[in-house]
Amino acid sequence: MLAMNYRGPYRVRAEQKPDPQIEHPNDAIVRVSRACICGSDLHLYHGLVPDTRVGMTFGHEFTGIVEEIGPSVRNVKVGDHVLVPFNIFCGSCFFCQHELYSNCHNTNPEATAVGAIYGYSHTTGGYDGGQAEFVRVPLADINPTVIPKDIHPDDAVLLTDACPTGYQAAEMGEIAQGDTAVVFGAGPVGIFAAKSAWLMGAGRVIVVDHVEYRLEFVKNFAQCEVINFREVDDMAIHIKKMTDWLGADVCIDAVGCEAAGSALQRLTGRYLKWQAGAATALHWAINSVRKGGTVSIVGVYGPPFNIVPIGNALNKGITMRMNQASVKRHLPRLFEHIRAGNLEPRKIITHRVPLEEVSDAYHVFSSKLDNCIKTILVPPGAPRMETVH
């Protein structure tokens, strides 16, 4: 099969790899119909996530047609069109029973914190991802969700990660009616977090970034205010000026370890790797939120640690909530929002690229060229499903 192949930082290409096989009675093989490049894939691409091994296939956002199932699979059948959450989870451990699917205790022997993720380094289990013609889906009785007939396939692929992650970011912010929410980052997750903040009852939503085309996009998509941090001397003071000198009720870090905005953070976190990425957005979130407010973190940070102003967080009495999104838990509610017209996830798709051109696609997305917001990769021979089926 054709698959994306990681060859080292900034080096990916499409190559032939062996087709995946059924390895366990509860496996399924899925023929990929759509796969996305996620902003967190760029952390792998840039060499910032430990134990990202040469030869692996990225891609934790994908949909496809069930091609083959193991003898124990009962809940999906050959021919089903499924969306596959980026979390790989067992459904039966303590954490899955509490709907913390991203913290499954049984699917990732490499860590005691995060569960397993498709195509995301061996720190998350070492499973190959969906930027390929075929992918092995473990625990197929619990992981995939059959796409409802009234959900557009392009909406469905964005429900595998970006949209639920943004939604959970807003949910973890515990937004109360009329609250001011500030979202740091205008990538796909930040865009969905801003949109979701309105669904939670926010009275004001502000998005911070420095890329003008992304700020223009989120302003139109999420009907929010925007700030270009390049035009601001001190982010915390600027947010306080905008909020009667109190600070925002909720701040959301949707950036993570590659944040721009601080030369010191970039040097120590991005280049010298003395900490697990540049935590600039997290500093801004902690310092910009009001006393007693909430900071929600969905931006990716890896081991071992980050330098953060925990004393400020303590003395301000803020609540901090964070996790990888538990996608499966959010799907029923997100289907409702799509059906009601509150969300149209597919509107953030700007580029549709053949899998054969995956190297160029990564370059365009990483370098923020051609007004790229979200890229869909289409494998050769992928079934055409451009309308609701």
Residue 37 has pLDDT above 80, yes or no: yes
Residue 115 has pLDDT above 50, yes or no: yes
Q: How much is the pLDDT for 270? A: 86
- Beta strand 225-228 with 204-209 is parallel
Q: How much is the pLDDT for 247? A: 98
- 290 torsion bin: left (phi>0), alpha (psi -120 to 50), beta (else): beta
Q: How much is the pLDDT for 303? A: 78
The residue-averaged pLDDT of 71-100 equals: 97
Please state the domain extents for the chain.
Answer: 2-161+326-378, 166-322
- Spatial CB neighbours of 329, under 8 Å, sequence gap ≥ 6: 99, 101
- Give the rounded percent of residues in the chain with a pLDDT score beyond 70: 99
Q: How much is the pLDDT for 111? A: 80
Residue 385 has pLDDT above 70, yes or no: no
Is the sign of the CA dihedral 101, 324, 167, 214 positive or negative? Answer: negative
Evaluate whether 114 touches 124 at the Cβ level (below 8 Å): yes
DSSP 258: B
| Residue linked to tokens 């990888």 | 324
The residue-averaged pLDDT of 242-249 equals: 98
182 CB neighbour count, 10 Å cutoff: 32
pLDDT band at 113 (very low <50, low <70, confident <90, very high): confident
Could you give phi then psi for residue 43, rounded to 5 degrees?
A: -65, -40
In angstroms, the CA 267 to CA 274 distance is: 9
Q: How much is the pLDDT for 206? A: 98
Q: How much is the pLDDT for 389? A: 40
State the architecture of 166-322 in CATH terms. Answer: 3-Layer(aba) Sandwich (3.40)
- Spatial CB neighbours of 312, under 8 Å, sequence gap ≥ 6: 286, 287
Closest CA to 64 of 143, 153, 158, 164: 153
Select the CATH number that applies to the domain covering 2-161+326-378 from these four: 2.60.15.10, 3.90.180.10, 3.30.70.260, 3.40.50.300.
Answer: 3.90.180.10
Q: How much is the pLDDT for 127? A: 96
pLDDT band at 386 (very low <50, low <70, confident <90, very high): low
Residue 261 has pLDDT above 70, yes or no: yes
pLDDT band at 388 (very low <50, low <70, confident <90, very high): very low
User: H helices within the chain, ranges in order?
Assistant: 39-45, 94-97, 153-158, 162-172, 188-199, 212-222, 235-242, 263-265, 280-288, 310-316, 327-339, 358-366
Run of H or E including 207: strand 204-209
